[in-house]
Amino acid sequence: RKERPLIRNVMPALNVYKGVFEVAPNMQMMVAAYPGVKVAKVPSLKRVAPGYGGGQVSENKYYQKEETKGEQVDRGEIRQAYLYGGEYVVVTEDQKRDIKSAHQLSMKVYCFVPQSQIKPHFLCSDTDVVVAHPEFLEPSSTAFSSLVTAMSEDRTAAMVRWVKRNNSRAEMYVLFPVVQSKTPNYSLHAIRYPWKEDTRCPK
């Protein structure tokens, strides 16, 4: 029996970010980021093997009021609400458009922290590799390698606010320095920091 290879050949990864990396207001450099590690997705339990009858599943949803059990609610009366504190707050589509922020492409350092303060279970997420921009190697390459070297020697990590695409939401990432003999010699591994809701146990 032919065994499956442990390493699979894949297509070259496209960059997920090309733009400015702001360490401080007077220290900016051009960087590029590429996918490094992706979390494997568990197969959906909703899949049904096609068999007799085609394997199709019909869904019939209905909603009932808690106050008067048994009384169904018309679909047109249902409103989406968000849990805020101990109450549900209804937000209309017009209100969503008014409060929507237009974030610009950016990566900005908030602070540097000791690597020992980062909880290991907070690092179980997708990882991107940040390197100096290949089209703007100087002076970005020198500044970038100096930053990575300093972070590696001090064993610090950087907390950054990262907007990968225009008008997408801003997320917090933690950057770990990586110095190695093979190319790229200097890089930062960016791991998405979880939101508070991501670390809670399901109810």
The pLDDT, as a whole number, for residue 134 is: 85
> In this predicted model, what pLDDT tens digit does every residue of 17-39 receive, in sequence order?
999 999 998 999 999 999 988 77
pLDDT tens for 78-114 read 778 888 877 888 888 888 777 777 788 999 999 999 9
CATH number for the domain formed by residue range(s) 17-37+102-196: 2.40.290.10
Give SS3 for 120. helix
Q: Which residue has the higher pLDDT, 174 or 138?
A: 174
Give Cα 72 distance to the centre of its chain: 39
Task: Give the Å distances, CA to CA, from 101 to 96, 154, 163.
Answer: 10, 36, 12
C-alpha atoms less than 13 angstroms from C-alpha of 131 in its C-beta half-sphere: 15
pLDDT of residue 203: 42
Q: Quick one: tokens of 22?
A: 């702001």
Mean pLDDT of the region 61-80: 77
The pLDDT of residue 21 is 95
26 φ, ψ (degrees, to nearest 5): -105, 15
* Arithmetic mean of pLDDT, 173-193: 90
- Give the lowest-confidence range in 10-14, 79-83, 148-152, 174-178: 10-14
Cα dihedral 100, 104, 109, 115 in deg (nearest 10): 70
What gap in Å lies between CA 107 and CA 105, rounded to an integer? 7
Per residue in 117-171, pLDDT (tens digit) is: 998 888 888 889 999 988 887 777 889 999 999 999 999 999 999 999 888 888 8
Classify each residue of 33-58 as buried b or exposed e, where b means 16 or more C-beta atoms within 10 Å of its C-beta.
bbebeeeeeeeeeeeeeeeeeeeeee
What pLDDT is recorded for position 200?
A: 54
CA distance 147 to 83: 41
Give the per-residue pLDDT at 163: 92
* Cα–Cα distance measured from residue 173 to residue 154, given in angstroms and rounded to the nearest whole number: 19
pLDDT band at residue 48 under the 50/70/90 scheme: low
Round to whole Å and give the CA distance between 119 and 113.
12
